[in-house]
Chain A
Amino acid sequence: MFDTIAQYEAEIWQAIGETFIMVGFSILAAVLVGLPVGTFLYLCRKGEVLENKVAYQSLNLLVNTIRSFPFLLLVVFMIPFTRFIVGTGFGTAAATVPMVVIAIAHYSRLAEQSLLDIPKGVMEAAVSMGASVKNIIFKFLYVEARSGLVVGLTTSTISFISYSTIMGVVGGGGIGDFAIRYGYQQYRTDLMLYMIVIILIIVQIIQYAGIALARKIDKR
């Protein structure tokens, strides 16, 4: 086993690196864009401070459409857009574009859900104190929803890893692509198995760390 791994070491490291790039940018997009989108969705709901039926329904439709798109088809469908953004439809950078899009849609929904779990009274208290929308978000919503937001991001990250495994179709590389190229196309089942084990270990670590952090910051 170790001989085989040693033989392919450089390639395996590169595959891991590619996965980290794709998933890393996805996480970044989830937090920087998905979280605000999810927050906006929440605040546009009926009875909330930014109540806006048109904004809610259109954004909701967009998020649902992206999420229900079969991911492989989304990747292919987006190639012209990807080419426009990064100049090429092929490679790890190109693969990151559809990953980022699905990441935003995925996490915005989970973030909205975490915010919905906050007791109604928290918002009442915030509004009664005369909090601005910005203060409602940062001094009330994110404080009370923080462990839900962490659990959501953990779940999303694990999904991003899963999405990243098919990015071989646009030359994105990554652990999944390595497993498919050797395990499926060259009948190296052993190599495929090692890759699966690596992914399982990464997922377990993320899951464990995410849940531990969520517990630690939950004082309710």
Chain B
Amino acid sequence: MITLHNVSKQFEQFKAIDSVSLSINQGEIYGIIGASGAGKSTLLRLINLLEVPDEGEVEVNGKVLTSLKSKPLNQARQSIAMIFQSYNLLGNKTVYDNVVVPLELSGIPRKDRQDRVMESLQFVGLESFKGQYPAQLSGGQKQRVAIARALANQPDVLLCDEPTSSLDPNTSAEILSVLMNINERLGVTIVIVSHEMDVIKSVCQRVTVMEDGKAHETVTIDPTGIQTIDHSAEGYVTRLMKDGGRGV
């Protein structure tokens, strides 16, 4: 589905990505992990050519993006959705208007847009928030809107750059289950960049470990599933007592 072939990216004198090759299969949830500054985000941004590689080839869904002119590249990008740590919603548009933007860009007829938007919002459980502005939403809700926006064009691939890194553990878990749902029910290939081991281990089937702009190793794992935390009072007591509790 996605093939990077010896891609390199340099910022001024600094080699952020150094001849990385990897291949991601259709329907996979693929992780990219590594320390801060390892080049994870840059590698992800090379997949949709948000960063143009200095060398190498990027192929997504049978199209060699690195050889496309801007118009077909933009068309290809409409099937490669992306979500970000900072959500990147339009603050001056309502939830509904944010989600409809990709449909306007891809030229979906006006009459079909409303159903598509509402379907996407239902998928993330936010249909009742369609008239709100992002500023009125919590972080988790904003990320759901971003996910709904990403889904609107029925993409083949969803790129996620630290999708849960600004969120608390429970909200993170909710977002991760939405992502798993998208993978399972809609068959979307997902690439997740994160510096958090738990996030990667819970949902990814294959993971590339990055260091200093190089792909250090790619490992295959059994995703552990998403850990949800028991928020009942008793749950807190149990967890407090588990390691080194001295009595109630």
Contacts and interface: CB of A to CB of B under 8 A. Distances in A.
Q: Which 9 A-B pairs have the closest CB atoms?
A: A220-B91, A130-B77, A121-B88, A130-B74, A125-B88, A128-B82, A130-B78, A219-B133, A219-B92
Among A125, A132, A140, A220, find the residue whose CB has the most chain B CB atoms closer than 10 A: A125
Interface string B65-95: 0000001011111101110101111111100
B73 to A, nearest CB: 7
Given A130-B75, A135-B105, A143 B84 contact: no
B182 interface: no
What size tier do the contact residues of chain A reach? 20 to 34
B135 A129 contact: no
B90 A124 contact: no
Interface in A82-130: 119, 121-122, 124-125, 127-130
B86 A143 contact: no
A129 B93 CA distance: 16
A131 interface: yes
B104 A139 contact: yes
Given A143-B92, A219-B133, A121 B101 contact: no
A219 B78 contact: no
Nearest to B91: A220
Contacts of B84: 121, 124-125
A7 B13 CA distance: 74
Interface of A: 119, 121-122, 124-125, 127-132, 135, 139-140, 143-144, 146, 217-220
B91 A219 contact: yes
A219 B135 contact: yes
Contacts of A132: 71, 74, 105
Q: Is the interface of A mostly helix, strand, loop or mixed?
A: helix
B39 interface: no
B86 A119 contact: yes
A132 to B, nearest CB: 6
B34 interface: no
Nearest to B94: A219
A130 B105 contact: yes
A119 to B, nearest CB: 7
B105 A139 contact: yes
Given A125-B84, A128-B48, A128-B50, A139 B101 contact: yes
Contacts of A219: 91-93, 133, 135
Given A124-B50, A219-B135, A129 B91 contact: no
Given A129-B81, A129-B153, 8 more contacts: A119-B86, A121-B87, A121-B88, A122-B90, A125-B84, A143-B93, A219-B135, A220-B92
A202 to B, nearest CB: 29
21 contacts: A121-B88, A122-B88, A124-B88, A125-B82, A125-B89, A127-B50, A128-B48, A128-B80, A129-B77, A129-B78, A129-B81, A130-B73, A130-B74, A132-B105, A135-B105, A140-B90, A143-B90, A144-B91, A144-B92, A146-B92, A219-B91
A218 B134 CA distance: 12
Contacts of B134: 220
B221 to A, nearest CB: 28
Contacts of A128: 48, 50, 77, 80-82, 159
B102 interface: yes
Contacts of B104: 135, 139
A96 B86 CA distance: 46
B76 A130 contact: yes
B161 to A, nearest CB: 9
Interface in B18-36: none
Contacts of B93: 143, 219
B135 A220 contact: yes
A119 B133 CA distance: 17
A22 B189 CA distance: 59
Contacts of A125: 82, 84, 88-90
Contacts of B76: 130
